[in-house]
């Protein structure tokens, strides 16, 4: 258990329920001001979508607050960033029994965020959230910030039943990340009219959420330019994890993109399939060569020699996506750090042979930028305990 808790520390240091009654109103949250505005926090109301009703919720793990809220701001341009936040994951008795909660003094406790925490606030973040930096390519855009508190990389639609390994007590987790975003997307439908460009992005677990929901966002906003950028979520997982992901989370990929057996799509294939389905859109991924958090989760999934194995699989997958999709690009940076979009590293990173901030700007505004990669960094010796 001590080794597992150590990996959980790495995981977080770096990084809607179906009802039976019809809601009385369609409104899913207060409207966003029409003029440019500061960040506002919104509490979503239930939304009917088709023949289902979705109510946003956090994990409701024992001792946590299930209340879910999201953030938004109106920019001066007609472009929109949809950002999915990160914060670990859980999928079995052990990992789901150790959530991070708001009262935790450290930011590396637990395997996943089980409730909203004080730092789930874009006002406290840097990188693309530094709206005063002239190098920020999205400083004038509107934003929708989707917090993460369901342990399912924003992609679950399930109430899962687990047993605490220390007490043998049963408990449930609301893996409702996919349902939560459906509610947020209904709010977006009412508050944004035909954006000129949309950036769908996210960090860590949020990178998976961006990929899961990209097709749904394009269904609502089919016009204009669109880009998906995944930050430190490469889809390197094990076959055993794929089974647990599907059985415990009910992984909710859209069938109109991934087919009738969408749930069988492996994590390493999702972005390439998106790029093929939307050939006129742009898709990109960022990662470091030896991301300690991603390799730590690979170890939790049962991979042996996880650090070396993760790096090898990540590099192979990036090359395969580049060859498979002409509209896919990647930026491979040196080191072991995890995520870039919420940090000052967004402006400092250049180990791929070009400044990362300018590379993202080109992704949004010009012909496809080049694939970028650090030189001779894959074989670098790194310290790793798993």
% residues pLDDT > 70 (the chain): 92
Query: Which pLDDT tens digit goes with each residue over 91-122?
Result: 999 999 999 999 985 666 799 999 999 999 99
Residue (of 209, 222, 327) closest to 270 by Cα position: 209
pLDDT on residue 8:
45
**What are the chain's domains?**
2-373 (3.40.50)
Higher pLDDT, 381 or 12: 381
Q: How far apart are CA 169 and CA 181, in angstroms?
A: 30
3-class DSSP assignment, residue 333 = strand
Can you list the alpha helix ranges (DSSP code H) found in 23-125?
Answer: 93-96
Cβ-contact 143, 72 below 8 angstroms: yes
Full-model pTM: 0.93
The residues, ordered by sequence, that sit 6+ positions from 75 with a Cβ below 8 Å of its Cβ are 36, 140, 141, 142, 143
* pLDDT at 12 > cutoff 80: no
pLDDT on residue 106:
62
Strand 142-146 relative to strand 79-84: parallel, antiparallel, unpaired? parallel
Can you list the alpha helix ranges (DSSP code H) found in 248-328?
Answer: 255-258, 270-277, 292-300, 306-324
């Amino acid at each position: 258990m001590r080794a597992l808790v150590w990996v959980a520390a790495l995981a977080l240091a770096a990084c809607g329920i179906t009802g039976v009654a019809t809601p009385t109103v369609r409104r899913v949250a207060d409207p966003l001001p029409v003029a440019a505005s500061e960040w506002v926090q919104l509490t979503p109301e239930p939304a009917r979508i088709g023949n289902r009703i979705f109510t946003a919720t956090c994990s409701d793990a024992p001792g946590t607050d299930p209340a879910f809220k999201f953030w938004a701001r109106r920019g001066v341009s007609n472009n929109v960033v949809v950002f999915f936040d990160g914060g670990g994951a859980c999928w079995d008795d052990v990992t789901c029994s150790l959530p991070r909660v708001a009262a935790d003094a450290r930011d590396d406790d637990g395997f996943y965020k089980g409730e909203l925490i004080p730092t789930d606030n874009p006002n406290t973040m840097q990188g693309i959230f530094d709206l005063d930096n002239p190098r920020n390519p999205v400083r004038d855009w509107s934003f929708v910030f989707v917090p993460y508190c369901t342990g399912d990389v924003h992609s679950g639609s399930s109430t899962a039943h687990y047993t605490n390994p220390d007490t043998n007590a049963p408990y449930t987790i609301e893996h409702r990340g996919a349902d939560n975003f459906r509610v947020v997307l209904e709010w977006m439908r009412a508050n944004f009219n035909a954006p000129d460009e949309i950036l769908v992005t996210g960090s860590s677990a949020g990178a998976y959420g961006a990929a899961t929901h990209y097709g749904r966002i394009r269904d609502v906003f089919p016009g204009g330019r669109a880009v998906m950028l995944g930050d430190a979520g490469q889809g390197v997982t094990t076959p055993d994890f794929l089974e647990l992901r599907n059985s415990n989370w009910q992984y909710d990929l859209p069938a109109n993109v991934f087919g009738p057996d969408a749930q069988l799509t492996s994590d390493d294939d999702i972005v390439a399939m998106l790029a093929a389905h939307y050939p006129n859109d742009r898709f990109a991924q960022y990662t470091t060569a030896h991301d300690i958090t991603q390799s730590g989760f690979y170890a939790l999934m049962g991979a042996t020699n996880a650090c070396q194995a993760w790096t090898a699989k990540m590099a192979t997958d990036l090359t395969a996506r580049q060859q498979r999709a002409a509209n896919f690009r990647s930026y491979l940076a040196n080191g072991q750090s995890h995520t870039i979009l919420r940090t000052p590293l967004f402006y400092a990173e250049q180990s791929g042979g070009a400044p990362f901030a300018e590379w993202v700007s080109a992704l949004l505004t010009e012909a496809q930028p080049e694939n970028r990669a650090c030189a001779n960094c894959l074989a670098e010796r790194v310290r790793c305990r798993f």
